[in-house]
Amino acid sequence: MDIADEFITNFKATGWESNPQEKILEIAKHNSEILKDLLIKIIEEIPEGGTYLDAAFSFLSEENFREVISFTLENIKANGLTHANESAIEYASIQLPQILNPHLGYLSTVKSNQSADFSAWPWRNADSMEIKRLESILKDDSQSTDEKKYAWEALIATSNTEALEVASQYIANIKDREESDRDFFNMYSMAEGFEWEGKEFNKLYNDETYHLCFPKVYFENLEDSWIADVYDDHPTWYQCKQSESNSQIEVEFGGAVESKCGVCGEKLHGLVSLETIPENLGVSGLGKFSLVTCLSCLSWEEYTLSFQHESNGSVESLDIKDNKVEPEFPAVPLVKIKLSIKQLNKRWLFQSWGSSNSRENLNRIGGQPSWIQDAEYESCPKCDKTMKFLVQLDSELPTEDHDEWLWGSGGILYVLWCDDCKISTTLLQCT
Ligand SMILES: [Zn+2]
Ligand SMILES: [Zn+2]
């Protein structure tokens, strides 16, 4: 029996006791030539899929993923949607949306029932022909409102200028529609990082994306670190550390800073500090740049914490309380470390918190945020303009008292930025 058949037989006989996760990652990393055939067999024979299947998609080469998708589409035509075949579409739409391009016409007839979140993601890389097809749906009065909404979502998901123009014309012409329709369009475009400004869309993030490349040892000093366990199982961790690109930039991470929190009066906590800021991040006119928050007060005492940044790198709290609060959960800083930030392969530019299953490195500067809840682009506390996304940090980073830091119940911290006012705002989301 070959390795793929053995895997399927064992899983069918003993289920999770057969250790599918460990085995499939072993095959993915050391026997990648059979991975494609194994995934095809799983999609065919184990329609309920599972997190082990999801984890393996990250190891398929683009060429092999293309073949898995061809099989998946045949499988959907024959059996309808299953967890397994839908996962294949979902992970392709996140990592390699270009391989779905030839199939978008068909996919628009297959509506996802697993998660509404990713129903438009396959369109992330749609070409002009497809954009024209979506435009024709919007202009066709015989199409239902639902069909039009779906086409509109797909247009926004492309992030393509031409598509956004078509989508903006449509939204501008819905004067006599219900208020709830407007809310839908606003909410959806915000989720994709675009704010509707009455005439056109304002993009709320920058494309350039840098991952924070933590070394494995940073987590290994903790007892039972989940990240240390999965570090070698996802390219966003181990490739980040390995890749030697010239886009490499050194940053300082964690520690405490001299400035005080305006809420509790204690020292603020350092997040990322850069000596020079890459040009394409939407941060101008600053030399040194230190992002901070107060781990004790954020979300427990105040929903957001905002900071004024000066060109010499100093930072001051904008949430000044006359009577300082004693935090309910006082926290110590994140462990200080020097690390590099790098631009990884395009495949890892867009990451979904849910689909990452806590296995991916979601610690990033720039790019599209991985929201856990609805998108929250706060207004700048000074000029009231919608702030842009700048940085996100995931949970389970080590603190100075040898604990793992969780944002809320284990969510993500987001840093938003107003470049006109040089103000950062931090907030967190969790489940
Ligand atoms: Zn505080
Ligand atoms: Zn502002």
Residue 325 alpha carbon to ligand 1 centre in Å: 8
Residue 296 alpha carbon to ligand 1 centre in Å: 5
Task: Please report the pLDDT score of residue 339 as a whole number.
Answer: 94
Instruction: Tell me whether residue 394 is exposed, middle or buried, using C-beta atoms within 10 angstroms of its C-beta: 0 to 12, 13 to 18, 19 or more.
Output: buried
Closest to 302 measured CA to CA, from 326, 319, 282: 319
- The Cα 155–Cα 153 span in angstroms is 5
Residue 297 alpha carbon to ligand 1 centre in Å: 4
Q: Which one of the ligands is nearest to 381 CA?
A: 2
Domain regions of the chain by residue span? 3-117, 128-202, 209-429
Closest to 405 measured CA to CA, from 319, 333, 308, 304: 333
- The Cα 405–Cα 398 span in angstroms is 6
Amino acid residing at 254: G
Residue 285 alpha carbon to ligand 2 centre in Å: 14
At a CB cut-off of 8 Å and minimum separation 6, what does 406 contact? 395, 396, 430
Take residue 380 and report the two structure tokens written for it. 């700048």
Neighbours of 96 (CB within 10 A): 20
- The Cα 210–Cα 341 span in angstroms is 6
- The Cα 66–Cα 199 span in angstroms is 38
Take residue 403 and report the two structure tokens written for it. 């604990």
Q: Which one of the ligands is nearest to 387 CA?
A: 2
Residue 337 alpha carbon to ligand 1 centre in Å: 22
For residue 128, give Cα distances in angstroms to 98, 150, 166, 281, 315. 13, 17, 12, 28, 45
At a CB cut-off of 8 Å and minimum separation 6, what does 28 contact? 35, 55, 56, 58, 59
Task: Please report the pLDDT score of residue 7 as a whole number.
Answer: 94
Q: Which DSSP category does 136 fall into? A: H
Residue 328 alpha carbon to ligand 1 centre in Å: 10
CA-based R_g, the chain, Å: 23
Ion ligand 1: residues, CB < 5 A? 261, 263-264, 294, 296-297
Q: pTM above 0.85?
A: yes
Instruction: Region of 394 please: left (phi>0), alpha (psi -120 to 50) or beta.
Output: beta
Residue 309 alpha carbon to ligand 2 centre in Å: 12
Query: Tokens 């393509």 correspond to what residue?
Result: 160
One pLDDT digit (tens) per residue for the chain, 431 residues: 788 999 999 999 999 999 999 999 999 998 888 999 999 999 999 999 999 999 999 999 999 999 999 999 999 999 999 999 999 999 999 999 999 999 999 998 887 555 555 689 999 999 999 999 999 999 999 998 888 888 999 999 999 999 999 998 888 777 666 667 777 788 889 999 999 887 888 999 999 999 999 999 999 989 899 999 999 999 999 988 776 655 678 999 999 999 999 999 999 999 999 998 998 899 999 988 999 999 999 999 999 999 999 988 899 999 999 999 999 999 999 999 999 999 999 999 999 999 999 999 999 999 999 999 999 999 999 999 999 999 999 999 999 999 999 999 999 999 999 999 999 999 999 99
At a CB cut-off of 8 Å and minimum separation 6, what does 391 contact? 271, 272, 291, 364, 365, 366, 414, 415
Residue 223 alpha carbon to ligand 2 centre in Å: 42
Residue 419 alpha carbon to ligand 2 centre in Å: 7
For residue 129, give Cα distances in angstroms to 28, 134, 152, 383. 35, 9, 15, 41
Residue 24 alpha carbon to ligand 2 centre in Å: 49
Residue 339 alpha carbon to ligand 2 centre in Å: 30
Pairing of strands 423-429, 256-260: unpaired
Residue 406 alpha carbon to ligand 2 centre in Å: 29
- The Cα 425–Cα 431 span in angstroms is 20
Q: Which DSSP category does 166 fall into? A: H
Query: Tokens 């119940």 correspond to what residue?
Result: 409
